Amino acid sequence: MMAVPEQTPPSSLEVGDYYDRLTDLMNRALGGNTHLGYWPQPGDGSSPGKAADRLTDLLIGKLRGITGRRVLDVGCGSGKPAVRLALSAPVDVVGVTVSEVQVGLATALAKQSHVADRVVFTRADAMELPFPDGSFDAAWALECLLHMPSPAQVIREIARVLRPGGRLAVTDVTLRAFGRTGMKRGECTSQLLAVPDLVHIDEYAGMIADAGLELQELTDIGDQVVGPSFAALRDHVNEHLDEYAAAFGIGVAEMRKVVAQCTTLPWTPDIGYVVLTARRPGE
């Protein structure tokens, strides 16, 4: 990531364009996923794809007991987590993304996996969800809030479309409240990565409460996610430098500098990875 102070947050169109260009490469790096991996045991030898599936399974476990329910997948990526959820339990899933490429890939995956009757995908902005109040029994957002101009607004929108008693599960890259390198807000912004800023982990409780939800769990698993995932992505970028440079719209030499910067920056200890669950009161 490159520090870009006071930059304008990316629009939904810009984030969609980012994923239109990068999704294929991300899928290849992360086993068909667009989110990071989870290594609970360091050095266990798991591939990035297996680790990313493990993170999906971790979140599926947070939505236990939702058989027969309707689930919203906010920032659905290429659809693998939603399909994995549908294959694990008889639920209906609606996935939303701002990337047309991802809608096409996710729809194709649902058909290929024989769950297209229960899993559908559509292009929509999480800042303004096109669904009625109380229309979902559960929702999850896997690693997408970091792209939002206002994560708090997204959480409010999710809360609005949850029925009373409905549950929310979230994972996201976060800024640790008491980092070891003294990193400050704004130092992790990146126009190149369509990231306006990272939320401090101690801000989530307030956003959940302001949305009218009850916080049930807030955990930082960054030590088991960030380091090994960044290392795997760095290696994949180095192996496919030309393709990444083309996708980012920069030269190979500049791409090489970006990789070097991401390898040497001292902020990794200050980057966490939040797992949270919440509930809409009622029932």
Angle at 72 between CA 67 and CA 74, to 5 degrees: 140
**Residue given tokens 């292009």 in the structure block:** 123
Where b means 16+ CB within 10 Å and e means fewer, 40-75 reads eeeeeebebbebbbbbbeebbebbeebeebbbbbbb
- Dist. CA 173–CA 106, nearest whole Å: 23
- Mark whether 157 is an active-site residue: no
The residue from 6, 143, 157, 239 that is catalytic is 143
Q: Which H or E run contains 113?
A: none
- Dist. CA 101–CA 190, nearest whole Å: 22
- Dist. CA 31–CA 233, nearest whole Å: 12
Q: How far is CA 243 from the centre of its chain?
A: 23
Just list the catalytic residues: 143
